[in-house]
Structure 1
Amino acid sequence: MLPGHTCAENINPIPAMAGDRLGGLVLPVEPRDGPIQINAMRAWTWSVEETKRLMLSGDIEIHIADFSFEGETAVVWLDRIPSEDGLINQIVVFLPEVTSRTSQAGTGPQGRNLLITGSSRGDVGLNTSVFTPYRPTGQDALLDLAQKRLAAYVGRLQKTRPVLDNIPQLIDPTPAEQWAPTLGGSVEVAAAAANALPRALNQEDSGWLRSPQGIVAFSADELNFETEDDENVLLADGSVVVSYRPTGVADTTGALRLSSERAVVFLEPGSIRDTAASQMSVDSIRGVYLEGNVIAEADRDDYMVRAPRMYYDFKTDEAVMVDAVMRTYDRETNSPVFARASELRQVSANRWTGKDVNVSASAFFQPTLSIGSRAVTIDRVPGGLNEEGAMVESSILVDAQDNTLRAGDMPFFYWPRFRGGVDNIPLRGVRTGFGDYEGVMVETTWDVYSLLGIKRPEGIDMTIDADGFSKRGGGLGYDLVIDQLGHQAQLDLYGMYDSGQQVTDTGIVQDVPKEIRYATLWENTLQLDPDWTIQTQAAWFSDSTFVTAWRPDDYRNRREYETSVYLNWQGENDSLSALGKYNLNDFLSNSWLTASLGYQTEKLPEVIYQRYGDSYFGDRLSHSWDFRLSRLRASIPSGTLEDNGLRAGTYTDQNGQPLPSWALIEDAAQFQYMRRSWVNRVSSRQELAYPMKFDGFNVTPFGMAQGIGYFEEETTNPDDTDQFRIYGSGGVKLDTQFQRVMNDVQSDFFGLHRLRHIIEPYAVLWYGAANYDPIDFPNYDPEVDNLNKGGAVRAGMTHTFQTHRGGPGRWHSVNWLTLDTNVVFSTGDRTERYPYTQWFDWQPAYSQLGNFFNGSAEWQLSDSLALLSTGTVDFDLGGFSRGSVGVEVNHTPQFSTFVEYRYVQAGESKILSLGANYQISDTYVIAVLPQYDFSADKFQSVRADITRAFPDFDLSIFVDYDQIRGETRFGASLGEVNF
């Protein structure tokens, strides 16, 4: 007998040694008097013979009589054994990590991969929010780890005489036993002894077919046996079914079911007595050959393979399929995966290899889109606990060589190697179409990691763009996106060869200014710690019309393009920031900035300290203030209006006349007093508010004072001699609220069930004064410079009608009708900076003053019908200055429409917008969006889309007409590409 293993040769195998059950095991723990109570957010339960198995997740508490254990994930075995005093409940719990509250104080259990054993006399209870009565899928790694821990524990019990414990036991993980040379021993004896010991087999180095306790059962219409000296053969014909169930510790595949028209089973020589019972041990089988509509299904790994011929070799642990189609499922992305191969091999429980393989997400014999490869390895990555201890689902990993993307049976792109998940196919998107000035367009986006065959880092994405335009040229781009905890960044690089003619967003047709054009954009936000943040931006374009010609949506809607560095410290109610901002280009690439300020402000640097809401006198007085130190310069666009893609009249001269297209932008009247040199400025603002209540009325006096000092030899305005400017404003706000409840209101037609009427009158009195005229000075910073003088009175009332909808058990309150009306009157000395009047209640000093009436209404007639309107009547103009009214109707969950009419007095803009979105079926969606210009008496734009959902992707066909640009585009794009 080998020293140190005195009991090894006397081990009597019991079912519990498999690790998946407690059969034949009596735990060396005295039963406690009391129940076993199990609490968890979610529980899966299944049975293995007489053992009840559970997997638990979320807020787990397990009470064994008067002992408690806690965790986030657990695997449980439960069994009952008889005794003289009645039934005893045995329990084994595997906890990957104990999260007991008492363990943090050093008085409770703690550790990782703990195995807990216990028993009790009493009831067993389970309390869970979500109960699933079957084994969980995608959690094989965790369940295998738990079974190996139990198998190792049972093996140690079999080798020794355990001591009977009085309380539940925590068994720490122990390293696997290693054989050590002993004096007088032999290698053969040591190997035999080691093989006799129960051990947890590793998934990769253990046979997935050669389970030591595997059972094979078979049935067929006709069975014939042939016996020979070196091999027995079983011939099966007609409705053949072969069932394989591994039951050992290496059970990672689960039951395997094979069906076919014919089969040949190759057996070890010897007696065929067990074979006659249509069931035999896996040790007696050499291989199984099947042909004729062969189907292989695994119940645990959710895969199925169809092939005309298959061979399972139980000696080499390999399965070979010819002309096979495999279907499996990626639970991480909820995506089906289909692989078609001339030869497919299963070389382990979780690995497949194939030759001449097509992989797609479509069940059709000829997928619309697929990836074809000369050689492929498909790995199923088991689910379980990740490095952070969170549960993850199983996933599919594909490693393919000599790959082609295929549309149907036609390859259209090649790359040497792909390695990644099924959602990491290189092609991200395709857009093709035709434009009047671009010609035939083909725009594609590709995944860099998939093309290089490397693993994608967590939170980092890289793509490249490859585009072609028949009338213009071609372009290449690179995009980097970082989205990690405390760090977000984006890099956009694009370059192209361009020629021919282009159309700008304003509709101007001109020759392309440069052959080589490019765009460089960078954004980065880094959270240095909870209080400090640094942000960087960069924008650099080849010419002034690149964005307006190639990225018109960004030209209209994107925030300001800038190059800057911003550092900010944020306290509880104060902040300190530093900004450096510089314009790398001498032009603007934002339409809204062109139409408002008309220039950018450079700041090198600007330091701001701000403090908010300091309270005094028992929280009665609120005080906010800021201090700014700035070095500023206005960056006025260079070149002519035409050079910048702008129409004549975008700017005016000093006489108020429109500037012609050939005029320089810097000659515009608004830039008359602006200097190109740097200006040093210091400013401070103080704001006070004193809220009071009087018998239901809220009265809030408020005030603001600002001082600005310029440190330079010359002032910005040559006619001005004051370099220190003072501004002050103040007023009072009044508001109150009344309400009435009308319980007897009932109308099915208007959707009314009870009614509450809330009336909120309000008023503001305000006046602002300064020692300078704000209209005469540059608006370097709107927050500091965009202030207005004069006085104003605003009075209004808001009516809100609320009702109940939903029905018994689901009543909820909705605003049935909201109506707000107010009027503003201003003094004659007011500042008139812009032609449109507007009121900002939070800071009246920023308002565009005048004499006007404002009104808005929102009427929720039903859950599917809503009316909205807003309008401004300018008394000085004698009519509407702007207004809109719209209706939105949700006819069905699949069909919705809207109508909106907008009017703007300046420019006599009268636009009617209509829209409809109709989901015809699960596969077709139609969207139409026309806009009609009543002033021009023609359509301004029309957009129509038809989207068809395919198994592999979404195909969208579009037509886009833009009257302002004078351009019509049509084409198609692919979205949500899957393979």
Structure 2
Amino acid sequence: MGMLLLASGAAGAGGDGSTDRPPQGASGSVASARPDQASGDLYLTAGTLLSERLGSGQSVLLCQDGVELVVGDRRLASERAVVWVVAGTLAGEKSTPSNQIQVYLAGRVSDQHLKDKSDPSLVVTVLEQGKTSVVKTDLAGAIFLTARKKDQPGDLRSRPLYQEAAAGFLQAGLSPLPAPEPSAKPARREPNEPTAGYTITISPVSSVMPRIQTSVEQGEEIITHMGRSHLTWQEPNDRSNRVNVIELEADCLVVWRTEADPNAKGVSPDGDRKTGVSAVYVSGDVLLTQGERTIRADEMYYDLRNRRALARNVVLKSYDAVRNIPIYVWAKQLRQVGENTFEADDVVLTSSEFWTPQLSLEAAKIRIIDNRKSEGSEVLPSDSDFDVVLRDVQFKVGNTPVLDLPKVHSDRQRPELPIRSVRMGHDTTYGTSVETRWWLSRLLGLREPEGTDGSVSVDYYGQRGLGGGVDLRYERENYFGSILGYIIEDNGEDRLSRTRKDVDVPQDTRGRFRFQHRQFLPYNWQVTAEASYLSDENFLEQFYRSEFNVGKEQETLLYLKRIQDNWGLSFLGKTRINDFVDQVEELPTAEYHLTGQSLFDDRLTFYSDNQISRYRYRYDPDNTMSNPDDYFTFTGTRNELDMPLSAGSFKVVPFVAGTFGYEDGTGFVSTLDDGVVESQDAIAIGEGGVRMSMQPFWCVYPDVESRLWDLHQLRHTIQPSATAVSYIESNEVAEQRDTVDLGISQRWQTKRGPLGSRRTVDWLRWDVDFVWIANSSGEIAGPDHFLWSEPFIPLVNRDGRVIAPLDRRTTGMFGPRQNYVSTETILRLTDTTSILGDAYFDMQTGVMEQLDLGFSRLVWPSLTYYVGSRYLREVDNTLGEHGSTALTFAATYTLDPRYTVVLAEQYDFDYGANIRTDVTLIRKYHRTNLALTFSADDSLDEQRIVLSLWPEGIPELAIGMRRYMELGASDVYY
């Protein structure tokens, strides 16, 4: 979070954060003073902030990604804004610093009065209700700006938002935005235009004074220093308003000057300033430093005027902040042939400082072009800003070449080398496996468009067969999406679980295709298109297990949606193309939602949810529950009216709601206990209730001090809340459960950290929920929770994977079925030790349904471990599943700087079986990691041994099974 403070005079002197004040106008520059002036401060919050100084005490700010403006008694908000600040003074008995402010707000504009009394100094002109407004005020206080991202990109006049604001100010009858005055920036020179010379500072490194010789040749003064010296000069950066500070140190140096200094008295311990310097030659243990980049060389010549350089036997050290590794470049000769162009001969590129690196890239020649346009516009430079060409390239492991290429053209992230990654391994399901990924653009010989990432997979599995596919992802300003396709000639058998092993595949040729696309349209419309094809019902579970377990449903649909202000309108069409799955088709569904609509000046709040659908239940042909798959119509509407009230420290919201549903298919036939009764096509439900919350109240214990528990003062905070709702219905098929929920949230906070910079942390957090319901279920059920302050069971379940008769009552997804009390807690004993737990107690049967406990500990610097227990009550669900009492243990232990052991174990005592065991031994070499993993997964009845090798910071070159290993997890171990 960036903090930017603009202030006038002493008004902002006490502000926190970094300061950036707009230029102050000359004293008395304001022609007249306004009698009404806001004496408070102005607070402006924005997601993205662009700023420019216009001269004469003026600044303009472009705010995007959400804007909030608070001044005096008003809070205004919008999607984007332009702020024009004119700094000056007000005339009067005493000159009072002031800021004249004009603000243009656009997109979802809201205006809220924080107090009953209005501020006459603040004038708000509404240009278009809810869309555009203009604010004008004179401010004697400070201006506080907060932004997640800020920048000074230069001239903002070409921005559409700036031009839109200029027109808005004119429409409101205010002063127009001025044209920026010429600033005192140095003129931009052509790339090959020589400069007039530089001023450098020369200082001796030690107490031994260098020997100095001076001569004049052809009008140039040549100064020679014999003895180790330190040079410093500043070089203007034509790509930004900054300067580059360059430091150079060497045993001997020669300086060429375009003009002689008759007053020069030689060098002193404090340094000697030389002006008009055009070139520098240094030799003997040369060290050049520029920011985080350092260059060592035997000798170097630097033409300061033309920005050309030549160095011999060079070692360049830099740092890749993206990959978090150092970069070393060794070169026999390094040349700067242009302002942003570099060439080198006999180059070695590696991340190791050793003379013989474990992994390296060698090239006979290299050419680098730095295309960055503006430093400071990004936190990190874009990878595509560097264009690199290497010739006669060798990839080496130690001194052994493993790959020769005549030419490699790279933008640092996407090299010309077409291969992207290689994974190898062996297990009982796939056999010996080789998985490769290749750059799609390189294979096609095309330049990859911006925002596109495409790869081709070519895999071989010893027990399955040969497979391949394409994975393409793209994202631009107005759309994003992905295309995924994979096909394999499968000669093996599926292993899906402990009880589903050696499952025959339905066909040898298997695969999938998935297309997802979202397009943002004008007027807040967006369209989503999706298509998903699977060859058979087990392919996704076998080859994409993670997506099968936690990914979204495989659907084919077209979805059109518009969300504006507090309302939304959508249209959905969904059909089934995989005939082996149970799915709900919607052809089509239309919905309209209105949320939080204020009525009668916020005295009432209205909510409305409306839906009309044309459904069809599609079943797997082998499903014995198959019903006729005729289309039927469903429509439903729920409308709620709230009345927010405040009673002291309590906030109380009584509400009433009505629901109507109609279905012309099988109708509504299920009771709360899943009993089947006479079908009803139309039903109605009425409900009334109250939601209450209380402002937190607390007690501070300033005398609490404990070194053992790391406590320094203590504050106890309590916040209760309550919800009660009751229903009436037209028929028992629409019956709901009356519910009362009482919640208490508690925090015990303390201060931790070194003296002078202590921070507030939650020492203990304890949340408790008590829930009572009417018509509770007599069946033994798992732990259900009261979620989102809404126990209402919807009239239809939109989840296409759960269809009739499991469409609404028996899923337990929509509210509690029994009286219960639940609790969650976490105790942070220290910054390295925590205890956490949760419990669910069934008050109706007096049985603990769920109990989880965990202990986490970091023993600096070598050990991290976790011990936890999970208990689930046994539920008879006719699926042969039992309860569960599982013990989990995980630890990472650094034996020494070279070896680390990682252990994970989970055992279920109720089943009397091991769930999973993983043991990994990691050997850390210099910039390279080698790991041996043994894994036993009893859920699949599978064991495997994996040997993995990955260079530090370069996961693309890793060798190992991508299905079973987190290649980027090396950072966890160190």
TM over 0.5, shorter chain: yes
2:591 to 583, 608, 612: 608
Q: Distance in 2 between matches of 1:140 and 1:362?
A: 37
2:192 to 205, 208, 213: 205
How far is the alpha carbon of 1:630 from its aligned partner? Answer: 1.9
TM-score, normalization by structure 1: 0.63
What is the match of residue 687 of structure 2?
A: 730
Asked if 1:789 corresponds to 2:782, the answer is: no
How far is the alpha carbon of 1:577 from its aligned partner? Answer: 0.7
How far is the alpha carbon of 1:337 from its aligned partner? Answer: 3.1
What is the match of residue 806 of structure 1?
A: 751
Structure 1 residue matching 2:411: 3-state secondary structure: strand
How far is the alpha carbon of 1:367 from its aligned partner? Answer: 3.8
What is the match of residue 116 of structure 1?
A: none
Distance 1:800 1:66, change over 3 A: same
What is the match of residue 675 of structure 1?
A: 628
How far is the alpha carbon of 1:625 from its aligned partner? Answer: 3.6
What is the match of residue 346 of structure 1?
A: 336
What is the match of residue 611 of structure 2?
A: 628
2:913 to 916, 919, 938: 938
1:709 to 659, 663, 666: 663
2:528 to 532, 535, 538: 535
How far is the alpha carbon of 1:572 from its aligned partner? Answer: 3.3
What is the match of residue 518 of structure 1?
A: 511
Structure 2 residue matching 1:547: 3-state secondary structure: helix
What is the match of residue 437 of structure 1?
A: 429
How far is the alpha carbon of 1:353 from its aligned partner? Answer: 0.9
Please, what is the CA RMSD of the aligned residues? 6.2
Q: Which runs of 5+ in 2 are unaligned?
A: 1-7, 31-48, 63-81, 88-99, 103-141, 146-150, 155-178, 671-675, 795-813, 876-880, 957-974
What is the match of residue 839 of structure 2?
A: 870
Q: Distance in 2 between matches of 1:686 and 1:955?
A: 61
Distance 1:202 1:513, change over 3 A: farther
What is the match of residue 909 of structure 1?
A: 883
**1:392-432 Cα shifts (integer Å, max 9, x gaps):** 76987241235555444445566643331469797766544
8 Å CA contact 2:214–2:224 kept in 1: the answer is no
Note the 1:869-908 alignment, pairs <5 A.
Answer: 869-873=838-842, 879-880=847-848, 882-892=849-859, 895-906=864-875, 907-908=881-882
**1:682-701 Cα shifts (integer Å, max 9, x gaps):** 44444456678999796846
Structure 2 residue matching 1:842: 3-state secondary structure: coil
How far is the alpha carbon of 1:306 from its aligned partner? Answer: 3.4
Distance 1:586 1:951, change over 3 A: farther
What is the match of residue 977 of structure 1?
A: 954
How far is the alpha carbon of 1:234 from its aligned partner? Answer: 11
8 Å CA contact 2:58–2:86 kept in 1: the answer is no
Note the 1:580-599 alignment, pairs <5 A.
Answer: 580-588=573-581, 599=582
What is the match of residue 960 of structure 1?
A: 935
Q: Distance in 2 between matches of 1:255 and 1:619?
A: 62
**1:890-916 Cα shifts (integer Å, max 9, x gaps):** 445763524131314131131424243
8 Å CA contact 1:418–1:450 kept in 2: the answer is no
Structure 1 residue matching 2:548: 3-state secondary structure: helix
How far is the alpha carbon of 1:885 from its aligned partner? Answer: 1.6
8 Å CA contact 1:739–1:757 kept in 2: the answer is yes
Counterpart amino acid of residue 766 in structure 2: L
Counterpart amino acid of residue 408 in structure 2: R
Q: Distance in 2 between matches of 1:38 and 1:454?
A: 55
How far is the alpha carbon of 1:339 from its aligned partner? Answer: 1.5
**1:532-552 Cα shifts (integer Å, max 9, x gaps):** 222222222233222111121
How far is the alpha carbon of 1:565 from its aligned partner? Answer: 1.5
Counterpart amino acid of residue 677 in structure 1: D
8 Å CA contact 1:948–1:956 kept in 2: the answer is yes
1:297 to 288, 301, 322: 288
Distance 1:464 1:401, change over 3 A: farther
Q: Distance in 1 between matches of 2:643 and 2:58?
A: 63
Structure 1 residue matching 2:355: 3-state secondary structure: coil
**1:55-92 Cα shifts (integer Å, max 9, x gaps):** x9955435555669x9946799xxxxxxxxxxxxxx99
What is the match of residue 767 of structure 2?
A: 818
1:843 to 775, 791, 800: 791
Distance 1:812 1:253, change over 3 A: closer
Distance 1:408 1:469, change over 3 A: farther
**1:359-404 Cα shifts (integer Å, max 9, x gaps):** 2343333444444444321244567368xx7787698724123555
Q: Distance in 2 between matches of 1:755 and 1:172?
A: 56
Q: Distance in 2 between matches of 1:315 and 1:623?
A: 71
8 Å CA contact 1:765–1:793 kept in 2: the answer is yes
Q: Distance in 1 between matches of 2:439 and 2:26?
A: 53
What is the match of residue 822 of structure 2?
A: 855
Q: Which runs of 5+ in 1 are unaligned?
A: 1-33, 44-55, 77-90, 110-126, 131-138, 143-168, 176-198, 589-598, 639-663, 774-787
Counterpart amino acid of residue 545 in structure 1: N
Q: Distance in 2 between matches of 1:806 and 1:248?
A: 47
Asked if 1:929 corresponds to 2:904, the answer is: yes
**1:106-139 Cα shifts (integer Å, max 9, x gaps):** x999xxxxxxxxxxxxxxxxx9999xxxxxxxx9
What is the match of residue 420 of structure 1?
A: 411
- How many residues are paired up? 775
Structure 1 residue matching 2:481: 3-state secondary structure: strand
Bigger CA radius of gyration? 1
Distance 1:618 1:294, change over 3 A: closer
What is the match of residue 82 of structure 1?
A: none
8 Å CA contact 2:327–2:349 kept in 1: the answer is yes
Q: Percent identity?
A: 16
Q: Which has the higher contact order (CA 8 A, sep 6+)?
A: 1
How far is the alpha carbon of 1:960 from its aligned partner? Answer: 3.2
Q: Distance in 1 between matches of 2:501 and 2:460?
A: 23
Structure 2 residue matching 1:555: 3-state secondary structure: helix
What is the match of residue 178 of structure 1?
A: none
8 Å CA contact 1:573–1:613 kept in 2: the answer is yes
8 Å CA contact 1:685–1:704 kept in 2: the answer is yes
What is the match of residue 549 of structure 1?
A: 542
**1:305-342 Cα shifts (integer Å, max 9, x gaps):** 33456667899975444553222456788764322234
Asked if 1:101 corresponds to 2:47, the answer is: no
Counterpart amino acid of residue 569 in structure 2: L
How far is the alpha carbon of 1:232 from its aligned partner? Answer: 14
Q: Distance in 2 between matches of 1:42 and 1:621?
A: 40
Q: Distance in 1 between matches of 2:464 and 2:20?
A: 58
**1:347-366 Cα shifts (integer Å, max 9, x gaps):** 23543212342323433334
How far is the alpha carbon of 1:252 from its aligned partner? Answer: 8.0
Distance 1:861 1:216, change over 3 A: closer
**1:852-909 Cα shifts (integer Å, max 9, x gaps):** 5343242536353333122243857x855x3122123344576352413131413113
8 Å CA contact 1:289–1:310 kept in 2: the answer is yes
Q: Distance in 2 between matches of 1:553 and 1:249?
A: 49
TM-score, normalization by structure 2: 0.63
Note the 1:482-493 alignment, pairs <5 A.
Answer: 482-493=474-485
How far is the alpha carbon of 1:820 from its aligned partner? Answer: 3.0
What is the match of residue 350 of structure 2?
A: 360
Q: Distance in 2 between matches of 1:267 and 1:569?
A: 68
**1:569-591 Cα shifts (integer Å, max 9, x gaps):** 22433321100112232234xxx
How far is the alpha carbon of 1:940 from its aligned partner? Answer: 0.8
8 Å CA contact 1:274–1:280 kept in 2: the answer is no
Distance 1:451 1:842, change over 3 A: same
Distance 1:893 1:540, change over 3 A: farther
How far is the alpha carbon of 1:810 from its aligned partner? Answer: 5.0
Q: Distance in 2 between matches of 1:933 and 1:960?
A: 17
8 Å CA contact 1:323–1:341 kept in 2: the answer is yes
